[in-house]
Amino acid sequence: MVASNRTPGGGAPKSLLHAMTLGFETEFWNDGCESETLARAIEHGATGATSNPVLVLEAIEANPERWREETRRLLREHPTETEEGIAWRLVEVVATAAAKQLLPLFESSGGARGRLSLQVGPRIYPDAKAMVAQAMHFSTLAPNMAVKLPAVAGGLEAIEELTANGVYVNATVSFTVPQAVAVAEAMERGIERAKRAGRDTSKLTPWVTVMVGRLDDHLRDEAKARGIDIDPEVVRQASTAVFRRTHKLFRERGYRAKALAAAMRSHHHWSDFIGGDVVVTIPPSWQEKFNASGVEVVARMENEVDPKVVQALRDTFPDFVRAFEPDGMAPGEFVGFGAAKKTLHQFINGYEKLLAFVRNEMLPLAPKGKE
Classify residue 149 as exposed, middle or buried by CB count within 10 Å of its CB (0-12, 13-18, 19+).
Answer: buried
In 3D space, the residue among 101, 174, 91 whose CA is nearest the CA of residue 137 turns out to be 91
**Does residue 215 carry a pLDDT above 70?**
yes
159-to-31, 52, 96, 153, 172 alpha-carbon distances in Å? 21, 17, 22, 10, 11
Among candidate residues 14, 129, 148, 195, the one labeled active-site is 148
* Tens-place pLDDT, residues 1-37: 333 333 333 578 999 999 999 999 999 999 999 999 9
DSSP-assigned states of every residue in 83-145: HHHHHHHHHHHHHHHHHHHHHHHHHHTTTSS-EEEEEPPGGGTT-HHHHHHHHHHHTTS-TTE
Q: pLDDT by residue (tens digit) across 174-186? A: 999 999 999 999 9
pLDDT at 2: 35
> Does the annotation mark 370 as catalytic?
no
What are the tens digits of pLDDT across the range 289-348? 999 999 999 999 999 999 999 999 999 999 999 999 999 999 999 999 999 999 999 999
Render pLDDT for 140-183 as a digit per residue (tens, 0 to 9): 999 999 999 999 999 999 999 999 999 999 999 999 999 999 99
Q: Give the whole-angstrom CA distance, residue 315 versus residue 306.
A: 14
Percent residues over pLDDT 70 in the chain: 95
Q: What is the pTM of this model?
A: 0.94
* Res 53: pLDDT: 81
What is the helix, strand, coil percentage profile of the chain, to 5? Answer: 55, 10, 35
pLDDT at 367: 63
* pLDDT of res. 211: 98
Q: Does position 365 have pLDDT exceeding 80, yes or no?
A: no
